[in-house]
Amino acid sequence: MALSFALIIIFGLLANKLFEKLKLPGLLGMLIVGILIGPYALNLLDKNILLISEDLRKIALIVILLRAGLGIRKETLNKVGIPAIKMSFIPGLLEGFTLVFITIKVFNISFTEAGILGFIIAAVSPAVVVPSMLSLIDKNKGSKKGIPTLILASASIDDVFAITIYTTFLSMYTTGNVSIFRQLINIPISIILGIIIGIIIGLILTNIFKKHHIRDTKKTLILLGIAIIFNSLENPIKDFIPIATLLGIMTIGFILLEKYPVVANRLSSKLNKVWVLAEIILFVLVGAEVNIFVAMDSGLLGILVIAIGLIGRSIGVLISLIGTNFNYKERLFCTIAYTPKATVQAAIGAVPLSMGVENGELILAIAVLAIIITAPLGAIGIKFAGKRYLE
């Protein structure tokens, strides 16, 4: 397993550097490295590292969400509040239900299977979007109107909606007995609980850091450890109390920045260094999950379905931005920034197949194809549109 780590780090770093030299997003190179050295191509990775791949990717995602929280200021959040709320659910719902109706017609599958497929694909990828937005914040691009913060704040909630509705359709398929009303009520409950618990943890950590002299490196490890514990509680208790832990993790960073900005800025700097390794692990292992041969099974019809779904999402973004002072270039940027898929699709794309869903192979194929198409194109689009369209 140690050799696999070495291959991930060395090849990931080289690909990142090469793609940046080519004026392309480094994460695209790391995704391609993951595909090439993964089990579906050269098969250079130890099976044990693939078994813990999900946990490693989750830790890397937690690092980037903490960084995001430590970079969101109250004034900016107030500025983008209402549009962020609208963007957290309107684009995802429009894309999801567009995919439901189009896949019923195109693939002749049942309504519940189409719902499972639609809302696996509908989730935007925080793994791609959040680092890209943080890069723009560092360059002060779009900061006047808070555009990167708007995307940051809404992207993690978008996933909450998509995963909750996907879970509802999967339960309908497997048990035939699920309360849709209860599942829909769970969405705001999970968001509110995630924010509340994040605030409480943030306040406790602020108090500890103010009262006790602890080195910044140890503070960073404490923050990261608590965030991982918080996130690990989501699955065991989700049937009793749903909690949007990823949103809560961002909230921890936000509270630390508000209550103790001097330390928060130092912790953000430390997490930037941790992210150098976490980024490589995240994107190479996401790439390793991609089976390009499965993706080919869905062919041109799969590409057409994904494209129609993205049209639905884009319309949702434009609806969400009605009433803002964004110009047409900034609205176009927001539309592009909301297209990448990777994190959720890699994590749960194979679950329906493993649970015996009749068209599970088709669902997996479309999920993989969505990663292959939207993750690189979305990352490239964000980089170029951010440079050209944001002040």
For position 181, what pLDDT does the model report? 66
Please report, for the chain, the start and end positions of each structural domain, with discontinuous segments joined by +.
52-389
Note the Cα 198 to chain centre separation in Å: 18
Q: What is the pLDDT along the chain (391 residues), one digit of tens a residue?
A: 889 999 999 999 999 899 888 878 888 888 899 989 988 889 999 999 988 888 888 898 888 889 888 877 777 777 777 888 899 889 999 999 999 999 999 999 999 999 999 999 998 988 888 888 888 888 888 878 888 888 988 887 888 888 888 888 887 887 766 666 666 677 788 888 888 999 999 999 999 999 998 999 999 999 999 999 998 987 777 667 778 888 889 899 999 999 999 999 999 999 988 988 988 998 888 888 777 777 777 778 889 999 999 999 999 999 999 988 889 999 999 999 999 988 788 778 878 887 888 888 888 889 888 888 898 899 899 988 988 888 7
Contact (Cβ atoms closer than 8 angstroms) between residue 89 and residue 191: no
The three-class DSSP label of residue 93 is: helix
Question: CA–CA separation, 198 vs 334, rounded Å?
Answer: 27
**Res 338: pLDDT:** 93
Among 80, 70, 64, smallest CA distance to 151 is for 80
Whether residue 150 contacts residue 84, with contact meaning beta carbons closer than 8 Å, is answered with yes
CA distance 135 to 141: 9
* pLDDT (0 to 100) of residue 177: 61
Architecture in CATH for domain 52-389:
Up-down Bundle (1.20)
